[in-house]
Amino acid sequence: MSIHVRPLSLLALSLASALAHAADEPAAKHPSMADVIAASKPSDWRAIDPQNLLYVDFAGRSRVVIELAPAFAPKHVENIRALAREGWFDGLALVREQDNYVAQWGDPNGDDAAKAKKVKNAKATLDGEFARSDKDLAFTPLPDGDVYAPAVGFSGGFPVARDAKAGKAWLTHCYGMVGAGRGDTADSGNGGELYVVIGHSPRHLDRNVTLVGRVVQGVDQLSSFPRGTGALGFYEKPEQRTALTRARLAADVPANERVDLEALRTDTDTFKALVESRRTRHESWFLEATGKIELCNVPLVVREKKVPDTKK
Amino acid sequence: MSIHVRPLSLLALSLASALAHAADEPAAKHPSMADVIAASKPSDWRAIDPQNLLYVDFAGRSRVVIELAPAFAPKHVENIRALAREGWFDGLALVREQDNYVAQWGDPNGDDAAKAKKVKNAKATLDGEFARSDKDLAFTPLPDGDVYAPAVGFSGGFPVARDAKAGKAWLTHCYGMVGAGRGDTADSGNGGELYVVIGHSPRHLDRNVTLVGRVVQGVDQLSSFPRGTGALGFYEKPEQRTALTRARLAADVPANERVDLEALRTDTDTFKALVESRRTRHESWFLEATGKIELCNVPLVVREKKVPDTKK
């Protein structure tokens, strides 16, 4: 039996194969996600502001790239920028890897007041930013409902829930979302200890923690660490932790060291077509097309920007 | 700042800590999951039939234990038993690890007709078992709805969706669920290549593939392999694959080599209390209690059976 038996669909389809479809082929009646991406226009994509891109490097792993979400957590994003600029993250470690839940980094000496790392210019604590006003918020709704919120959809490339009656919107705990750890009070975090969702979406955390962004490259690096065997997935021995060697804003590294990423906009007809291609599956493998999609199953596509060929 | 900042809840709470609560303490007004488990009676637990327990061993990893679901996929379960008994799985490999999706094992030589492993006594293909009649099905419904199905809940310890109008029920693709890979036709799988969900629930696969069971121990072993870099997360080089050394039914190994597991029943008041403890969070860390729960966020608790102390 072939190992290429495909129980599954093309969630991880490579952009290369998507782009292999010539854009001038006749439009398919039911375009697949690959077709939709191949037919996209440059205006369907947005460059990601280097002020909102955080590069996080762990020893022996490829770079993790996070897009920050100042529209939802302006104070935390500002503080994460300040923390990165003062080198706060450099020398921390991955302290927690809890299966079907989160990977989290922090100060391995945080329990020892004498050795614990001190914040310099950044703020040591911040008020929680659990939800924002939905006024003037771009919002592309999904049509199929949600267990946790009155409405869900996308805003500025992020998965979002909305309660129009309360006039509120908030980021949601989908796979790859990044949050700021806190203690028992709402104002006890500062963005200096971040966690990333690496399992089924723990949506009960929505509005309980400040989400600050999303991993747009390298989430597979974070999800594949050995699981911690202590309570809540914390590593029990120092040697089990992986060092966080360096975190920097893209804006603070030389241009030639940046990865130029672009994200598929979530407020376009192309994005609507992408959602539709995943709601109702017409690929030959699918026997049941489903006709529904849940928020965290919508792929948010990010790719490396093609550098224009200036030699021609 | 303490590394014990808890952005998160007690999903992975250890049974040890749960049991540390004395069972004769006064019942809490809003029991936590740990409280519910500590207060459970022996009759709230079910032993898992060794005929339905598959031990899968990968080189250098702890044992993975799967509970098979004959109530939903009787032919596949029967065939998996036959495959295990003829040693089909022994010597296969983990061939695919796709981030936020699945881990999958199969025959690394499956593409080479001359070298491909042949099935002996088991069946080489089987009709799909995508859904069953909901007649006479024990079903504990959840109250908060679902994006993909008219109703969801639990049956015999498994997460289940139900369409009462159509008279059908089916297993759902939650984290840790195990499915039988197939080709383009419904009857092209046989249970010989199994995949395990290791990311956000890909519920669009429901009723497209035969789900055969659930990992009840060791899913963290499967979710932490390096991701495959080929299309669909397949490993590109033979040396990247991990050998599947042996798979056996618990019933076929000597009693002293078995792990005696028991699972919290899903048809009891104790289970209802557990669901409630996760729907509405009263732990001090939670500022927003949520009051809803989605199918794949309900913990299905399995523990090693306590051996009665016969020395007393």
Q: Which residues in A lie closer than 8 A to residue B234 (C-beta atoms)?
A: 3-4
| pLDDT tens column, A179-209 | 999 999 999 999 999 999 999 999 999 999 9
The mean-pLDDT minimum among A210-214, B56-60, B114-118, B294-298 falls in B114-118
Closest CA of chain B from A174, distance in Å: 8
pLDDT over 70 (residue B43): yes
**Percentage of residues in chain A with pLDDT exceeding 90?**
86
Q: Averaged over B37-48, what is the pLDDT? A: 97
Burial (Cβ within 10 Å: 0-12, 13-18, ≥19) of residue B25: exposed
A111 and B12 within 8 Å at the Cβ level: the answer is no
Closest CA of chain B from A285, distance in Å: 5
Helix (H, G, I), strand (E, B) or coil at B297: helix
CA angle, residues B293, A179, A105, in degrees to nearest 5:
120
A1 and B232 within 8 Å at the Cβ level: the answer is no
pTM over 0.90: yes
The mean-pLDDT minimum among A23-27, B28-32, B63-67, B247-251 falls in A23-27
pLDDT for res A305: 86
Helix (H, G, I), strand (E, B) or coil at B43: helix
B202 and A293 within 8 Å at the Cβ level: the answer is no
CB A152 within 8 A of CB A142: yes
Q: Least CB-CB distance to B207: which of A7, A193, A288?
A: A288
**Strand B194-197, strand B102-106: pairing:** antiparallel
B106 and A5 within 8 Å at the Cβ level: the answer is yes
CA distance B55 to B84: 9
- Residue B164 in tokens: 């009462």
- Residue B179 in tokens: 């499915």
Closest CA of chain B from A153, distance in Å: 13
pLDDT over 50 (residue A36): yes
B104 and A7 within 8 Å at the Cβ level: the answer is yes
Contacts of residue A238, defined as CB under 8 A and 6 or more positions apart, other chains included, come to A108
CA distance B295 to A185: 29
Contacts of residue A263, defined as CB under 8 A and 6 or more positions apart, other chains included, come to A45, A46, A48, A67, A157, A216, A300, A301, A302
A8 and B220 within 8 Å at the Cβ level: the answer is no
Dihedral of CA atoms B251, B253, B254, B259 in degrees, nearest 10, equals: -80
CB B279 within 8 A of CB B256: no
Q: Which residues in B lie closer than 8 A to residue A223 (C-beta atoms)?
A: 99-100, 199, 223-224, 227
**Amino acid letter for position A95:** V
Give the end-to-end CA distance of chain B in Å, rounded to a whole number: 47
CB B142 within 8 A of CB B274: no
Closest CA of chain B from A65, distance in Å: 16
Q: What is the ipTM of this complex?
A: 0.91
What Cα–Cα distance (Å) separates residue B269 from each residue in A6, A74, B290? Answer: 40, 45, 21
Helix (H, G, I), strand (E, B) or coil at B299: coil
- Residue A276 in tokens: 């539709």
B11 and A204 within 8 Å at the Cβ level: the answer is no
| A-B contacts at Cβ under 8 angstroms | 261
Nearest CA in chain A to B106: A3
Q: Averaged over A212-237, what is the pLDDT? A: 97
CA distance A136 to A154: 14
Q: Averaged over A104-110, what is the pLDDT? A: 94
pLDDT for res B310: 58
- Where is pLDDT greater, at A153 or B14? A153
Instruction: Supply the DSSP symbol for B42.
Output: G
Nearest CA in chain B to A207: B288
Nearest CA in chain B to A118: B1
Q: Which residues in B lie closer than 8 A to residue A205 (C-beta atoms)?
A: 7-9
B294 and A203 within 8 Å at the Cβ level: the answer is yes
The mean-pLDDT minimum among A5-9, A248-252, A279-283, B286-290 falls in A5-9
User: What average pLDDT does chain A have?
Assistant: 91
| pLDDT tens column, A291-305 | 999 999 999 999 998
Q: How many CB atoms lie within 10 A of CB B199?
A: 27
Q: Averaged over A137-164, what is the pLDDT? A: 98
Q: How many CB atoms lie within 10 A of CB B239?
A: 5
Q: Which residues in B lie closer than 8 A to residue A190 (C-beta atoms)?
A: 1
pLDDT over 50 (residue B20): no
Closest CA of chain A from B264, distance in Å: 19
* Alpha-carbon radius of gyration of chain A: 20
Strand blocks (E) in chain B? 45-47, 53-58, 64-68, 93-98, 102-106, 132-133, 140-141, 151-155, 158-163, 168-171, 177-180, 194-197, 210-217, 242-249, 261-264, 302-304
Closest CA of chain A from B265, distance in Å: 22
Closest CA of chain B from A160, distance in Å: 16
Q: Averaged over B241-252, what is the pLDDT? A: 98
B101 and A227 within 8 Å at the Cβ level: the answer is no
| pLDDT tens column, A18-34 | 334 444 455 668 999 99
Residue of B204, B292, B300 to mutate for A, most A C-beta atoms under 10 A? B204
Q: Least CB-CB distance to A147: which of B116, B199, B294?
A: B294
Where does residue A60 fall: left (phi above 0), alpha (psi -120 to 50 degrees), or beta otherwise? left
pLDDT for res A111: 81
pLDDT bucket at B67, cuts 50 / 70 / 90: very high
Q: Averaged over B166-193, what is the pLDDT? A: 97
The 3-state secondary structure of chain A reads CCCCCCCCCCCCCCHHHHHHCCCCCCCCCCCCHHHHHHCCCHHHEEECCHHHEEEEEECCCCCEEEEECCCCCHHHHHHHHHHHHCCCCCCCEEEEEECCCEEEEECCCCCCCCCCCCCCCCCCCECCCCCEECCCCCCEECCCCCCCCCEEEEECCEEEEEECCCCEEEECCCCCEEEECCCCCCCCECCCCEEEECCCCCHHHCCCCEEEEEEEECHHHHHCCCCCCCHHHECCCHHHCEEEEEEEEHHHCCHHHCCCEEEECCCCHHHHHHHHHHHECCCCCCCCCECCCCHHHCCCCEEECCCCCCCC
The mean-pLDDT minimum among A145-159, A166-180, A239-253, B18-32 falls in B18-32
pLDDT bucket at A110, cuts 50 / 70 / 90: confident
Q: Averaged over B153-178, what is the pLDDT? A: 98
Q: Least CB-CB distance to B227: which of A9, A184, A224?
A: A224
pLDDT for res A5: 46
pLDDT for res A22: 43
**Percentage of residues in chain B with pLDDT exceeding 90?**
86
A12 and B286 within 8 Å at the Cβ level: the answer is no
| pLDDT tens column, A123-132 | 999 999 999 9
pLDDT over 50 (residue B6): no
Point out which residues pair with B97 in neighbouring strands. B103
Burial (Cβ within 10 Å: 0-12, 13-18, ≥19) of residue B40: buried
CA angle, residues B157, B160, B163, in degrees to nearest 5:
145
- Per the listing, tokens 């840790």 go with B176
B174 and A200 within 8 Å at the Cβ level: the answer is yes
B195 and A7 within 8 Å at the Cβ level: the answer is yes
Q: Which residues in B lie closer than 8 A to residue A107 (C-beta atoms)?
A: 1, 3
pLDDT bucket at A310, cuts 50 / 70 / 90: low
Q: Least CB-CB distance to B101: which of A11, A184, A205?
A: A11
CA distance A229 to A304: 36
